[in-house]
Structure 1
């Protein structure tokens, strides 16, 4: 955030640059934000007695906007995320342009400008020097340092430039060459580290220039098009399966950008939205299908709508979350559909922030024995670019604490997590009635309401969003600078893994900085030990009320550090060393002299990785 008057966010914000403007920097001052949070407890009583200090308008927040149900009733199909404009190839271009279509300046502005793209932040280099990088493979994979080293198709290289992706992130630097070499891949990395680009960029690049040969015939929808007569069966070359509707639409948006000026046509299929509109898009032709398991299975049950017989790449994104949702049986049906590939050259990829036993079981079933496993950091570790603060707040004081916390800071995009749908409505209503521009999202809302809420949050018409953890999984919105855990996740609902997804997957994406504030009290003791471990691992301050849960340095271990099953032999080969690598425990961090990773089987790149630098140390205090 930039403030021409003072770096103190508690002072007058009238001269503050609009943090939601399209040209606002995609970074924030974590020290500034954290200072504001730490000041909250001290000023709470004083603020409560000062009416002006309790006026959201005086603090720079916009007026709250009620939901317009009359407008909602008049919406048409074009408002659905899945019907978003994409680059449509014209049959007449085949001879004139080859496999690279002409520019469409209007669409180019829509795809590559504004608030759709998360720009790389100032901490990208820190993100690209994680504490541990391993690339386990029978073959040597040379990591790339620049996009020009990746062997991308010319139009993909240009689209990457338009996306303002300056350099590959660490996970991209290893996954791209692996995919380009035709390998099955497992990618395990922090949320917000560029995993979506890691699989879309090389897959689409490999298919560019081959669409005429590989893709099914489809109509020219830029001319007169009659769905009943001209529609075709969708036979995608790429299938991406993910757990939530919001994540599906975001991957679809990324595919729209990366397919620009190519013959490849992306589509998205997810539940909650009318199947009719999605079916109509599929029947125009589909080369890349992104979707949730339920809706994909629905369309698979309609052979005239969808066939997976041409699929060459199947990607499972957020695999850990999908398996937690009991999609295993549906997976088998979807995967078996992709196995009908006529050329028998089907590649499988799995990506996740964690990689538990169920994920490993799925990988053993479908991935080839020579697959490549790229692991960046410890599975389930937290993001090094997030400043984490923990405040002690009794349940009956949470509303007041939240309100005072929001008013103590410069208005910024803020995502607030609670643990159930009823609480989402309760907190959203409270903030709205106190004059703050809030919106909310949870699984009980209609898909139209969910998409409207995301639009309002993305455009900053409502820069405060209240959500459950699952409903916000995968959201990638520019300049989300603050995540607040109004409720910490319970162990039976994900525990520390869910905490990591919340704070790392929404803020501090692609090298940007972020702040996470968590409200804690005695009801959260089931997560306290794991929370302390995460704070220690990320060099964050431990508040006094959590000191009793701090383990001795030689006792700090992580229950799920490994993403490999135990090997069958006691071989001392390099490959077995890599498979046995359980990731660094915290005692490794304490004992480290900035040693490089010695277990990597890559040529260059990973062997230069250093242990994580310290994050800004901010004191956490009680409410």
Structure 2
């Protein structure tokens, strides 16, 4: 909530906050904008600083360790109440000519000892289904496509194996860089030559993955950096000039730096990861992705690629076929675009005029917990922020019209609990992972034209993440009727209660245990039969060979019959259950 202009009338904060909520804080966006040049950007956060005498692995640094991972007591509390039972039941389907033996524990994977310790410090006790398959696949040198539900641990699924492989090899593979203890700006600057590039669609997600990389690079010589819009290029260039091994960035800013060869070179690149790929494959970002993927100095065939997303539309499949090797492996955790039973979904029928009253009732009933409220426009975010602030609730908001200083301040306030209610548009909250988000409210459901059920899935996936439970409440008005059918099927798929006003949309002949079908499962082009892996130059493998499918031949992702084949296989026990330790009968291997 912005500080009101002089002369305007608004209630002061003298009265107590509503029961269960902390006192509200007014954020002076004008002052933030004026102080922007002196701002401490999230991308400036401290990383582990190696020294020449350390070798490839350095000693523990207690102060930074607490900053990165929290104190030991908080790390123990982090795992309290986790419920992995639903996650363990999620089916994992492996496709591709290579079979990957999955791991049961992190220790099974042959991970570098420093990485194992960092995993422990992060509080990761059991690998999630996508991690069980992706970690060994990347360690064995395969290109990977990972399609998994939101909140399933995709970021760690690629960072852990990549950084583990590079630990102990930084001096051999990395570029020369100055010793931070003696660095002098303008004198010791080097060209950043990262070994890893991670491309993400939003600034907030870039910072989030950077913070995850800071943790997993701890005690190694590997230096993570992040670049994104809204921050002066010179500021980020100064960080790159100290050396960079892992670079996370948004498409536009990455393209900008690729065009500055005196600052950034990709000639040493070993790994290219496209995260939240489905969001980035809009026409608006095509030129940026092309420049990042193929317009730089990396040698074709020497770069490993990873493509990760919660959904896998045709544009993502086309991208994979162009850049990934024939021998890549593909993992689908559950149905592409599905959500998890750890999230209790409630759909509430309201009038447009009754939304605010219903919202206040919800915030009163489920008070004091981190809550994200989604709206469909920037204006709606500002309006709702003002309304809730004037109701004395501790709220902040985020959308694409805000300056980067404001966006980062809002996220810090939300993460710290200073403003545990965040009003956001779907775009700005894409992929955000904030601990202990217990409630997601769709004040506006996404329209069928702009995001539809895929956007709904991403939104509610901000809660119920990796073993935690969460609640998602959505307001349904007469405008949302086009979404009713697929929304009802999504509820059925995850064993949710169907409200009376959606009963008419339950598919005919449906009964408990019946597999629900979705349009996205049959959107494959029957003529889309090209093999993947143009960049590798080898023929064979492809997307539609018999070895690529689980179940009947001709399945796969690249033809019209693939999903029927997979459904048949699944119905008879095909596919891999993550807790089953072996492929089920009929898995097609």
Q: Aligning the two structures, in what range does the TM-score lie when normalised by the shorter sequence?
A: 0.7 to 0.9
State TM-score, norm by structure 2: 0.87
Alpha-carbon distance between aligned partners in 2 of 1:141 and 1:486, rounded to the nearest angstrom: 42
Return closer, same or farther for 1:142/1:76 CA change in 2, 3 Å cut-off. Answer: same
Deviations 1:131-179 (CA, angstroms, capped at 9, x unpaired): x311113222100001111110111111001111001100000000100
Once the two structures are TM-superposed, the CA of residue 92 in structure 1 deviates from its matched residue by 2.5
- Correspondence for 1:235: 193
In the other structure, the counterpart of 2:249 is 291
Structure 1: gaps spanning 5 or more residues: 1-54, 610-623
1:520–1:177 Cα change, 3 Å: same
Q: Which residue number in structure 2 is paired with residue 63 of structure 1?
A: 23
Deviations 1:580-615 (A, max 9, x none): 6755899989x96xx63x245999736369xxxxxx
**Structure 1 residue 249, shift from structure 2 partner:** 0.3
Q: Which residue of the partner structure matches residue 473 of structure 1?
A: 430
Q: 2:97 aligns with which of 123, 138, 147?
A: 138
- SS in structure 2 of the partner of residue 348 of structure 1: strand
- The aligned residue for residue 49 of structure 1 is none
Query: 1:557: how far off?
Result: 1.9
Q: 1:143 to 1:485 in 2, by over 3 A?
A: same
2:140 to 177, 181, 205: 181
Residue 106 of structure 1 is matched in structure 2 by 63
Q: C-alpha separation between the residues in 2 aligned to 1:475 and 1:336?
A: 28
Give the TM-score normalised by structure 1. Answer: 0.82
Aligned length: 543
Residues in 2 aligned to 1:572 and 1:601: alpha-carbon distance in whole angstroms: 21
User: 1: distance between equivalents of 2:30 and 2:198?
Assistant: 36
2:556 alignment counterpart: 579
Tell me the equivalent position of 2:166.
207
Deviation of 1:325 (Å): 5.9
Does residue 311 of the first structure (1) align with residue 269 of the second (2)? Answer: yes
Q: How does 1:184-195 map to 2 (within 5 A)?
A: 184-195=143-154
- The structure-2 alpha-carbon separation of the partners of 1:144 and 1:563, relative to structure 1 and needing over 3 Å to count, comes to farther
Shift of 1:332: 1.2
- The answer to whether the Cα contact below 8 Å between 1:57 and 1:63 also exists between their aligned partners in 2 is yes
* Native 8 Å contact 2:97 2:548 kept in 1: no
Q: Distance in 2 between matches of 1:442 and 1:70?
A: 16
Whole-Å Cα distance in 1 between the matches of residues 199 and 246 of structure 2?
11
SS of the aligned residue for 1:92 comes to: helix
- 1:605 is aligned to 581
Query: 1:515 is matched with which residue?
Result: 471
Tell me what 1:424 maps to.
Answer: 381
Q: Deviations over 1:321-366 (max 9, x none)?
A: 0013631221111111456239x42100000000010000000000
CA distance in 1: counterparts of 2:524 and 2:133, whole angstroms = 19
Alignment of structure 1 residues 79-158 onto 2, 5 Å:
79-94=40-55, 99-113=56-70, 119=78, 122-130=82-90, 132-158=91-117
Match of 1:332 in 2: 290
User: Aligned partners of 1:329, 1:69: CA distance in 2, in Å?
Assistant: 33
What's the CA shift for 1:542?
0.8
Q: Say which structure, 1 or 2, has more relative contact order (CA 8 Å, 6+ apart).
A: 1
How many Å separate the matches in 2 of 1:349 and 1:118? 33
- Assess, with a 3 A threshold, how the Cα gap between structure 1 residues 585 and 326 changes in structure 2: closer, same or farther: farther
* Cα distance in 1, alignment partners of residues 362 and 566 from structure 2: 32
Tell me what 2:447 maps to: 490
Aligned-partner SS, 1:227 = coil
Cα pair 2:89 2:578 within 8 Å, conserved: no
> Partners in 2 of 1:564 and 1:363 — Cα distance?
14
1:393 match: 350
**Distance apart, 1:578 and its partner CA:** 5.4
Give the structure 2 partner of residue 450 of structure 1.
Answer: 407
Counterparts in 2 of 1:603 and 1:311: CA distance versus 1, 3 Å: farther
Unaligned segments of structure 2, at least 5 residues:
1-14, 530-542
**1:347 equivalent in structure 2:** 304
Q: Deviation digits for residues 54-111 of structure 1, max 9, x if unmatched? A: x9735221221111458634566562010000001111323xxxx2101100000000
Shift of 1:271: 0.3
The 1:93–1:241 alpha-carbon spacing in structure 2 relative to 1, beyond 3 Å, is same
Task: Work out the CA distance in 2 between the residues paired with 1:268 and 1:252.
Answer: 6
- CA gap of 1:369–1:77, structure 2 versus 1, over 3 A, is farther
When the two chains are superposed, the root-mean-square deviation of aligned CA atoms in Å is: 2.8
Structure 1 residues 249 and 526, CA gap change in structure 2 (3 angstroms): same
562 and 184 in structure 1: CA distance in 2 versus 1, 3 angstrom threshold:
farther
Post-superposition shift, 1:535? 0.5
Q: Which residue of 1 aligns with 2:5?
A: none
Q: 1:346 to 1:603 in 2, by over 3 A?
A: farther
Taking the aligned partners of 1:328 and 1:490, their CA distance within structure 2 comes to 24
